[in-house]
């Protein structure tokens, strides 16, 4: 059974059909790519799956359970985590607090613990901190734990976001252009991190990416999107040679 299944999902913004009849099936441990020209609706699909928008038509199923219509924090705690294209970090918080915050849904000490500082709270906060530090270690940014994210270089901020997304213990991870704005060196590092996360957590990953090199190397299957519709689907080789994909990116060859 696929871990994430999307059936005939559509969404309009006013009169614009942003996503039309989108479908997707990801098996556990699979890495899928989503490519397409700017404005094709890739990020909208992420926002629809993660509950930031509620799809107007269609269904999103996580392990066979319907999740569309739930508030986004519920969807996130059920196991769909994501990163953002333009790094939505909390600028006044430390790196460690970012990763601790993503454990929010598993906190059990409640308001009594928050107001009065019970023993249970001390214990839980310690556990969360330990797990957060492990994740930071894995991302190679443990030494930055006490830094405020605002002061970090771009590559490190990307890692913080990645660690934060993994801290929710997701089953499916949606990565929205994880390599945007990175130099070749950082690119290699982030790809290694994605591979590691995939290997160690057995995650299913859906990846939006503009750099074909990254998609071709990481993904088993790729969907190409244009004007909100899937125009091609297949292995990296098939996609590379698909005339519709070439048209979407480069335009039609015109004969005068």
The footprint of another protein (CB under 8 A) covers 50, 52, 71-73, 76-77, 81-82, 84, 88-93, 97, 100-105, 107, 109-111, 113-117, 121, 125, 128, 164-165, 167-168
**Least spacing, CB of residue 54 vs another protein, in Å:** 13
Q: How far is the CB of 196 from another protein (least distance, A)?
A: 21
Q: How far is the CB of 102 from another protein (least distance, A)?
A: 4
* Minimum separation from the CB atom of position 154 to another protein (A): 17
Q: In this structure, how many other beta carbons lie within 10 angstroms of the beta carbon of residue 174?
A: 24
HSE-CB for 99 with a 13 A CA cutoff: 29
Residue closer to another protein by CB (options 78, 230) is: 78
Closest distance of CB 49 from another protein, Å: 11
> Which residue, 105 or 151, is less far from another protein as judged by CB?
105
The DSSP bridge pattern shows strands 65-66 and 229-234 to be: unpaired
Please identify, using beta-carbon distances, which residue of 109 and 227 lies nearer to another protein. 109
Cβ distance to another protein smaller for residue 40 or 163: 163
Q: Which of 53, 46, 55, 57 is nearest to 81 (CA)?
A: 46
Indicate the residue among 36 and 113 with the shorter CB distance to another protein: 113
């Amino acid at each position: 059974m696929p871990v994430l299944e999307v059936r005939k999902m559509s969404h309009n913004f006013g009169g614009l059909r942003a996503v039309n009849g989108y479908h997707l099936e990801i098996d556990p441990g699979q890495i899928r790519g989503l490519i397409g020209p700017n404005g094709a609706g890739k990020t909208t699909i992420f926002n629809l799956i993660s509950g930031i928008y509620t799809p107007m038509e269609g269904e999103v199923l996580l392990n066979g359970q319907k999740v569309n219509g739930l508030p986004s924090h519920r969807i996130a705690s059920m196991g769909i985590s994501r990163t953002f294209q333009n790094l939505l970090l909390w600028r006044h918080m430390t790196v460690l607090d970012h990763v601790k915050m993503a454990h929010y849904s598993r906190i059990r000490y409640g308001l009594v613990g928050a107001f009065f500082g019970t023993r249970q709270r001390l214990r839980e906060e310690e556990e969360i901190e330990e797990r957060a530090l492990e994740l930071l270690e894995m991302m190679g940014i443990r030494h930055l734990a006490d830094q405020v994210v605002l002061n970090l270089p771009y590559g490190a901020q990307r890692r913080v976001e990645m660690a934060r997304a993994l801290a929710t213990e997701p089953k499916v991870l949606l990565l929205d252009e994880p390599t945007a704005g990175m130099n070749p060196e950082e690119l290699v590092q982030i790809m290694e991190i994605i591979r590691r996360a995939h290997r160690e957590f057995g995650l299913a990953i859906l990846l939006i990416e503009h750099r074909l090199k990254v998609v071709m190397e990481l993904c088993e299957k790729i969907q190409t999107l244009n004007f909100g519709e899937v125009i091609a689907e297949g292995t990296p080789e098939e996609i590379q040679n698909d005339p519709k994909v070439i048209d979407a990116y480069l335009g039609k060859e015109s004969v005068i």
